[in-house]
Amino acid sequence: MSQVLTPRQAEELHKALIAYLTATGLSNTAAALRQELSIGDNFDDATRKKYEGLLEKKWTSVVRLQKKVWFYDLSHIAGCRIKPPIAQIMDLESRNASLQHELTTATPLSSRRNQDPTTWLPRSPARHTLQSHRQPITALAFHPIFTSLASASEDTTIKIWDYELGELETTLKGHTKPVLSLDYGGPRGGTLLVSCSSDLTIKLWDPADEYKNTRTLPGHDHSISCVRFIPSGAAGAPTSGNLLASASRDRTIRIWDVTTGYCVKTIRGHADWVRDIHPSADGRYLLSAGNDQTARLWDASSGDAKASFVGHTHVVECAALAPSAAYPLLAALADLKKSPLVTSSAEFLATGSRDKTIKLWDARGTCIKTLVGHDNWVRALVWHPGGKYLLSCGDDKSVRCWDLAQEGKCVRVVEEAHAHFVSCMRWAPGIVREQGGGGGEGNGGVAEAGGKKEEKGEGIRCVVATGSVDLSVRVFAP
């Protein structure tokens, strides 16, 4: 058989294979391959880390190119007026060569290990600046598994990006007015993208079917500001069920069954526009915020109000429930002798307002700390998954990081994160590793090589995305 690869390419492939086998726990197979290829002591840990993740990246690049070639060949058969297939293949080969160079000189964002994920914070410059929208960015959402990032805009479209490569994958059209919010979630094993708009509709899109719009949910009487899937299962389970919650300018919160498309509950209580909605990790509670200058905590099952949070002097733009990892530090701020159990939910929360402040609260409605630093409206809040920090962004164009271990001190400011108002921000979901027995999507198990031990938990993915009135999305990563 003739040798297709050059000796250098063959060596690179062999090392990538060994790194892949080692990373997936197939140490015996890796050792046998090393022995057969006579790769000895020169393949140390530093070399393994260099090649780890490379094989998967090259494989997905090839699959993506195959799909493009197939599409262009099909279009040629159908008589479409596009470039001839040979020219397209040459273009794709040129692009592939560029990608291959990028892959050999860069490590995947989610695989960089020279930074402690529990203390990582975004800093300038951004890893990628994504531009294609024609009007301001309004919302962002990360796919729970793949390296896909969805962005919404006042231009009525949704765009899907590969945030590893910094490339646009597709554009979704269907809404007739500005798209205001996005979220990924849905039934176990069937991730969906949900969007809502000023056109009074909620739309569901299926990523597994080329983001086909599978259902449209009408019902609200005014603009729909925010939509979120409601998690199901045990507290902290990174899975979603069949329900989603929406907040609207019609002053209501609605809960929907995505399998039927029916509104199963309407929650009333806010006196004005409901701007934001945030479900607890176990799906038992909903936190909302709005123009009536309050945030409110609701029982998701009954719709009963559990607490009100009053103290801001302007519109409350955003609210976020704290993760259980933050409970010890927040309990200390609240002068509690004992931290709440990590299995409990909705114990602490944060709100951001047009009064330029961020407030930290306990579940009883007591403000335990006010964070001052923004020079304009606070537009979005994100808790660090490690529990030590709270991130905020706003119309002063900055992203700010507040350290709970230092009584909420602002320890980092990303000045001029964008050229205009920073309107939205999301942290990529954690890397959920399956148990050795193949427990299925989202079970949160981590198996050691050889199956000796299993630990529950999620790996923190150090990726933060922001969207702005400057029409761009920026991705921050190590």
Residue range 225-242, pLDDT digits in tens: 999 999 975 333 444 578
* pLDDT at residue 130, as a whole number: 97
Tell me: the pLDDT tens digits for 356-390?
A: 999 999 999 999 999 999 999 999 999 999 999 99
pLDDT in tens, 90-141: 777 777 776 665 555 444 554 444 578 999 999 999 999 999 999 999 999 9
C-beta atoms surrounding 12 within 10 Å: 16
Q: Specify whether the CB–CB gap between 258 and 204 falls below 8 A.
A: yes
Q: Which residues contact 77 (CB under 8 A, 6 or more apart)?
A: none
> What integer is the mean pLDDT of 76-83?
44
pLDDT single digits (tens) 140-177: 999 999 999 999 999 999 999 999 999 999 999 999 99
Cα 261 versus chain centre, distance: 25
Query: What are the residues facing 309 on neighbouring strands?
Result: 295
Beta-ladder partners of 245:
228, 255
The b-or-e profile of 353-384 (16+ CB within 10 A means b, else e) is bbbbbbbbbbbebeebbebebbeebbbbbbbb
Least confident range of 16-25, 99-108, 121-130, 256-265: 99-108
**Per residue, what are the HEC states of 368-393?**
EEEEECCCCCEEEEEECCCCCEEEEE
**What is the amino acid identity at position 475?**
V
pLDDT interval class at 190 (50, 70, 90): confident
Distance between CA atoms of residues 168 and 14, nearest Å: 32
DSSP structural state of residue 27: H
Q: Contact, 287 vs 297, CB < 8 A? A: yes
Q: Is 466 exposed, middle or buried (0-12, 13-18, 19+ CB in 10 A)?
A: buried
> Which stretch of 69-73, 430-434, 440-444 has the lowest confidence by average pLDDT?
440-444
pLDDT band at residue 21 using 50, 70 and 90 as cut-offs: confident
